[in-house]
Amino acid sequence: MQQLAQAAPRHAPRRLPLSAIRLSIVMAIIVSLAWLTVPIAHAAVQPPSEPPIETHDATDGTNAACTSQPAFKATIVVGPVGSATARFKTWANEIAAAAKAAGMKVCKVYSPYADKQTVRRSAKGAHLFVALTHGNGYPSHRRGTGDGNDATAHGLGLNASRGSSANKYFGADWVRDRLQLAPRAIVILSHMCYTSGNGEDASSNARDNQIPSYAWAVRHVDNFAQGFLASGSYPAGGRPSAVIALQSQRFPTNDPKGNLIETLMTSNKTLDEVFMTRYTHSTAAAHKDAYRPNSGAIGTHDFYVTKRPDGKPLRSRGRIHIDPDLAHPGTASPASWNRNKPNTKWLDSFSGKKKGIANPNGSGVVSMGYTRSIAGDLDLTASAWRAAAGGSSSPAGGASSSARVTVPKVRGMTPAKAKEALTKAGLKVRATNLRVVHAAVAKGRVVNTKPSHLLDGTPRKVARGTTVQLKVSTGP
């Protein structure tokens, strides 16, 4: 033990050769310089606090349009809808593209990041609020024939928490108390159950999947609209102007007749007229009369509502306009139709009928039910809404960026000449070209544009400022 405690014997230090000392000094200097070139931020690398980007834009409520209140702000929310979530995101991206093409600044909040805090923050000051979520509405054969509990009904189906795929309902009470859209904001509820008049499509009770009665259709629309129309605003002092519920309407940017958002951003129509605008619908035999609600107004048996079916005042503010898609074998239309005094007996002849296309071969036997509605200030003009949204009746910056222009024919031109023609027409041109094999167009010359200058054989019209790409021939 004593021996172990003794100090180790000392040895004289060994001298290093001068060349080794110089090499050590050089290596130390190199290492020091290497650290100096590393960005300061790398000194304390943290795991990312935000979720990954899913598309070309952030879909988690973090981009500039979400965190600020720009003119012409559109907030688009996709909630968790199980296996249909990806499809809902595709529809939402189409709406986002339409809003961008029309001159709006778009904020996306998609599941699994559409929790109540993120949605509330991102919707603040939005002039257009679009929701694609589960819809929990009343009356319902499965849950009750009353008007339900607004704590969970007639609002939004959102992620239970950020990053969770679980759905949680935040009803009209939450919408009324927590949402702060811009004064005169427009709300679009897309592909949501109970919002436009119909019930559900996949309920465990088959009767909720069928076309409802007139009375239930009106109550569905009224119950869902009331929370949004009564919500507050940012800046304070206003209310949303209208709630538009569309079960299946599309928003293509390449339709020569435009789309609903483009109509809002370019026309002087009233909101009711915007709602009743009809866009291009395929006339091919396989699609004739099929899914007409995809293309805007039906306009055959639409009607206005100013009070509930029992004679009591509407829960929502203003008026309601419902535009159903109704047709059925053996159910002839009335000889005349009064929008202000609809034939409710005829409407109720569809109650309990199965929704869907009985014969999608052009026969006109179509019955999708109550697929379209608008509630609120139907007489507000689109130009007045734009004035409230951007301080003028034109899109952001006061430019006429959303006017429709014809895509010029540039076949056979050099890329430089084609770009000049397209720019002169009011279009933008991508910096990179598509290369295509073409026997009839010389190498290096333009074959066409994407989108092309023709749509179904007629000159294509697109929103001014649309970006197109040149297709350049590589020869045969």
User: How confident is the prediction along the chain (476 residues), in pLDDT tens digits per residue?
Assistant: 333 333 333 344 445 455 555 555 555 554 444 443 333 232 222 323 333 333 346 899 999 999 998 999 999 999 999 999 999 999 999 999 999 999 999 999 999 999 999 999 999 999 999 999 999 999 999 999 999 999 999 999 999 999 999 999 999 999 999 999 999 999 999 999 999 999 998 889 999 999 999 999 999 999 999 999 999 999 988 999 999 999 999 999 888 889 999 999 988 899 999 999 999 876 665 555 557 788 999 998 999 999 999 999 999 999 999 999 987 666 678 889 999 999 999 999 999 988 875 544 444 555 789 999 999 999 999 999 999 887 555 554 333 444 678 888 999 999 999 999 999 888 889 888 989 898 889 999 999 998 877 654 567 777 778 888 999 999 98
What is the pLDDT, as a whole number, of residue 49?
Answer: 33
Whether the bond between 451 and the residue before it is cis, its omega within 30 degrees of 0, is yes
Residue 173: which of 120, 131, 218, 230 has the closest Cα?
Answer: 230
Alpha-carbon distances, residue 450 vs 415, 454, 470 (angstroms): 13, 10, 6
What is the pLDDT, as a whole number, of residue 254?
Answer: 84
What is the token pair recorded at 287? 């699609």
Q: Is 67 helix (H, G, I), strand (E, B) or coil?
A: helix
Q: How many CB atoms lie within 10 A of CB 331?
A: 12
Residue 291: which of 325, 340, 266, 258 has the closest Cα?
Answer: 325
Cα(198)–Cα(355) distance, integer angstroms: 9
Phi and psi at 202, nearest 5°, equal -140, 40
Residue 323: which of 344, 305, 300, 307 has the closest Cα?
Answer: 300
Residue 416: which of 406, 405, 431, 438 has the closest Cα?
Answer: 431
Residue 251: which of 100, 389, 397, 77 has the closest Cα?
Answer: 100
What is the pLDDT, as a whole number, of residue 402?
Answer: 46
> What pTM value is reported for the model?
0.73
Phi and psi at 187, nearest 5°, equal -110, 130
Q: Tell me the CATH number for domain 404-473.
A: 3.30.10.20
Cα(301)–Cα(326) distance, integer angstroms: 8
Cα(366)–Cα(240) distance, integer angstroms: 34
Alpha-carbon distances, residue 312 vs 225, 303, 375, 376 (angstroms): 16, 18, 16, 17
In 143-282, beta strands by DSSP E: 156-159, 167-170, 180-181, 186-190, 232-233, 242-246
The domain segmentation of the chain, as residue ranges, is 64-398, 404-473
What is the pLDDT, as a whole number, of residue 465?
Answer: 80
Contact 405, 114 (CB under 8 A): no
The residue assigned the tokens 């749509």 is 455
